[in-house]
Amino acid sequence: MAEPLTLSSSFWELALVPSIGGAVSRLSLVGRDVLRPLGAELSEDAEAVRHSGGYMLAPYSNRIADARFPWDGSPIRLARNFGDHPHSLHGFAWQRGWTVQASDPGSASLVLDHPADTDWPWRCRLRQIWRLNGLDATLTLEVENLDERDMPAGIGWHPYFLREGLDMAFRCKGVWLNDDRQLPRTHVDVPAEWDFDKRRPPGPATLDHCFTTWDSRVDLAWPSRGIAISMTASEAFSHLVVFTPAGRDFVGIEPVSHANDALNMADPVAAGMRRLPPGERLTGHIHLTGEITP
């Protein structure tokens, strides 16, 4: 297994694997896992990052339809990066090795410099910074445009929270319904069966949807394990993707900056994509606050 970079506070323990997408291989609160741990037997797999506890999404989140979109009057075509999947998915950050820029016992800064290529035709730099302090864990995500042209930019975090015994709550007013290609087509008020205003188990519904008008907070609790977390996000993260595949041991609750396939919507900026001029940065912060419950 690639050697993990381990951080800790008096309550949190975090292990990162820079060489595997800069992914989280373990995140625990008072010794109890909250994210799906990456087992040693899986870490040598070419798809190891997909078995991890979570990873950064950049320079876009979720799907770009048919791996193409228009930008400043020109058609942009990307490499399809997910097997025979017709769309490009989640950007390139999760599929590259990262470099540790700095670290100490409670914090780490990872960086990824990207040359323009078929995965993304703009030069850019990605950063993720973790800081642990007592019951607080903070993740900062950033994309910087190193190119000579304006580029579209989005960021997100794709954590895989352990599903067994989980109760969760989040407050959103809208959601995108998907077509049969898993692309957003109709925006509606949140249906009653997808309403998580009050904390409850994920339930039987299979979600893979982008929620909107999010109040920037998610509450997670595992009552039988005596732990809970509040996850709050800065204003850069205006959308929340919720992924609850049937029969799996995790729930994906993903703060993201934009709607799925925003680059193919009538107004990508209104859908959350940023236009980054050369030298500009898009930065967002995600805070996890742990609680030890009776």
pLDDT digits over 5-23, tens only?
Answer: 999 999 999 999 999 999 9
Calpha distance 151→91 (Å, rounded): 14
pLDDT digits over 86-99, tens only?
Answer: 999 999 999 999 99
Taking residues 67-87, report their average pLDDT: 95
Calpha distance 111→143 (Å, rounded): 10
Closest among 261, 98, 79 to 181, alpha carbons compared: 261
pLDDT digits over 118-138, tens only?
Answer: 999 999 999 999 999 999 999
45, pLDDT greater than 70: no
The residues, ordered by sequence, that sit 6+ positions from 70 with a Cβ below 8 Å of its Cβ are: 76, 263, 264
Taking the model in full, what pTM does it have? 0.96
For the domain with range 5-292, which CATH number is right: 3.30.450.20, 2.130.10.10, 3.30.1330.10, 2.70.98.10? 2.70.98.10
294, pLDDT greater than 90: no
Q: Cβ distance 160 to 53 under 8 Å?
A: yes
